[in-house]
Amino acid sequence: MNDLATARPARLITAFGTALYFDVASGELRHGPIESSPRNAVFVGDPSPFAPYHRGHLAHDLGGSFELIACRADRCEAASRAGGDNAAAQPTALQLIPLERGLIAFAANGAFLSAIPDGQLRLCAPVCSTWELFLASEAWCSEPTVTGDESFAKVGRLNFDKQRIQYNSVHPLTRVAASTQPRAKKILIYGYSKWSHGRVYYDLSKYLHRRGYIVDTLDWRVSHAEYFSKLAKYYDFFMTSLDGAPSLLDDYAVSGDRIIAVSHGEFDIRMLVEQKGVEIFDKFASYGVLSEFLFCASLTRGVPRPPMVASLGIDYSEFYSDISERLVQVGYAGSMSLKTYGIELKRGELAEAAAQEAGLPFRVAGSMANQIRFQDMPGFYREVDAVLSASISEGAGLPTMEAAAAGRLVIATPVGHFSRKAYEGGGIIAPVEAEKFKAFTGATLRYYKDNPAAYRDKCRIIQEAARKFDWQYSIGEWIELIEAPRRGPG
């Protein structure tokens, strides 16, 4: 972490895309539109350490000197004008708290600094939630603390609404406005921002930020043509699944040597080969797949460039929960149905039939038409006792790892990376043939339903194995993918 004695003052942007500025006429610190607000408000770091966090002052930048700000519950204004009766007030020393993905918060006197929607800034929020989130122009403000983790635990008497902070996705335009220059590269993920894809992208943003990267997600369901050129000037690389590569290449004119292409399933390999030919893979800055299963699928599809395997991980601590006393409800955490090239891949009705065969209720987490937030999935796993997957194709398979960390009975077909995860203790492999899957899974569920002690023992084994599914064991593969030099065939 940089020495605050020489650290540059930081301009601040709210998480909702407004900029802090000093209103000279009123003497107040406010926030407003980035384009029209004066660039005259900064956070100045205190060179004295306040371990494990920093501290400093908000200030009016006079272009060579600083007028420090006093923050109160009703307003933030220049300390020289805040005392009343011609007496200056004491400037407010703020605690700077790095959170996640570059988001930061400020606190003092038991309250958080909050950007009120009417343009005011107040030191008034008892909980850090949404309006209390900021981005800084200087990387030192958001670098991880000495503990190496986020500040979601209580800090003194302060509280953090972890779920609402997770819900807050940083829009790439807001990041561009902050113009932070990290120690490592700036990556923009172009992809689907919800469900399992959204979970992976959120985790990558969080874990790669701890290692000096900036990673944000651009939702590919809407057009960004109006401002894409601004994004292209700021981000170093664009990461996308293979089905997003044609849009980056053709719609946004991104050159292949700025694209990190990642296969999420064997059918996206087939699609890209049909659209662009196998030659396109040699033009990417780097090319990765989520599992050894996809490594083989890529080669057998005729792609001459061997991909790098970038394995999926999970936040084990977030999904961990107490093991159920007995098996009374079966869960399903993927799409019930998904057809690609006319082939049904998910077979959710088969999983439901197996649960019915065992006389157990079947609960679905959501559907493509009615999705729950990926941040809410830990709660779903706590409400079921087993999780099934009947897919005939998976790029990797995120729900089985999440359910394993939750200490649930996991039964799945040997596709994606599940064969390996099950070999490591993370679940039970079921036959892939439909009738055999139904018979085997139904019988297995009945056995564990009728034998609670055996059920608990098996879940403990699965949960213990899932410790190795944590991102700490796989994030290095993603860093290798990002940092890999461009390679040709073979």
pLDDT in tens, the chain (490 residues): 344 446 789 999 999 999 999 999 999 999 999 999 999 999 998 876 554 447 899 999 998 899 999 999 999 999 987 665 555 689 999 999 999 999 999 999 999 999 999 999 999 999 999 999 999 999 999 986 533 444 455 455 679 998 899 888 899 999 999 999 999 999 999 998 888 899 999 999 999 999 999 999 999 999 999 999 999 999 999 999 999 999 999 999 999 999 999 999 999 999 999 999 999 999 999 999 999 999 999 999 999 999 999 999 999 999 999 999 999 999 999 888 888 878 888 899 999 999 999 999 999 986 555 667 888 899 999 999 999 999 998 889 999 999 999 999 999 999 999 999 999 999 999 999 999 999 999 999 999 999 999 999 999 999 999 999 999 999 999 999 999 864 444 3
Q: Which fold has domain 12-167?
A: Trefoil (Acidic Fibroblast Growth Factor, subunit A) (2.80.10)
In Å, how far are 243, 284, 362 from 262, measured between CA atoms? 9, 10, 33
Q: By the 8 A CB rule, do 67 and 89 touch?
A: no
Question: What pLDDT sits at residue 426?
Answer: 97
The domain locations on the chain are 12-167, 182-311+474-483, 316-469
Same fold, 182-311+474-483 and 316-469: yes
Which tokens go with 357?
A: 């065969």
User: Cα separation of 170 and 183, whole Å?
Assistant: 19
Distance of CA 218 to the CA centre of its chain: 12
User: Cα separation of 24 and 38, whole Å?
Assistant: 10
Domain boundaries 182-311+474-483, CATH class: alpha beta
User: Cα separation of 162 and 147, whole Å?
Assistant: 18
Residue appearing with tokens 């900036």: 214
Question: What pLDDT sits at residue 181?
Answer: 95
Question: What pLDDT sits at residue 370?
Answer: 66
Instruction: Check residue 149 and report its DSSP letter.
Output: S
State the Cα angle at 103 between 99 and 108, rounded to 5°.
65
The alpha carbon torsion through 311, 312, 316, 317 (nearest 10 deg) reads 120
Q: State the CB neighbour count (10 A cutoff) for residue 142.
A: 24
Q: Kindly report the backbone phi and psi dihedral angles of residue 470, in degrees, each rounded to the nearest multiple of 5, phi listed first.
A: -65, 150
Q: Pairing state of beta strands 66-71 and 76-78? A: antiparallel
Report the sign of the C-alpha dihedral through residues 465, 470, 472, 478, in that order: positive
Give the list of residues 6+ apart from residue 84 with CB closer than 8 angstroms, or none. none
Question: What pLDDT sits at residue 83?
Answer: 60
**pTM metric for this prediction:** 0.90
Cα distance between the two ends of the chain:
40
b/e map 286-303, b = 16+ CB within 10 Å = bbbbbbebbbebbeebeb
User: Coil, strand, or helix at residue 309?
Assistant: strand
User: Cα separation of 15 and 20, whole Å?
Assistant: 11
Question: What pLDDT sits at residue 374?
Answer: 86
* DSSP bridge pairs for 206: none
User: Cα separation of 186 and 230, whole Å?
Assistant: 14
Domain boundaries 316-469, CATH class: alpha beta
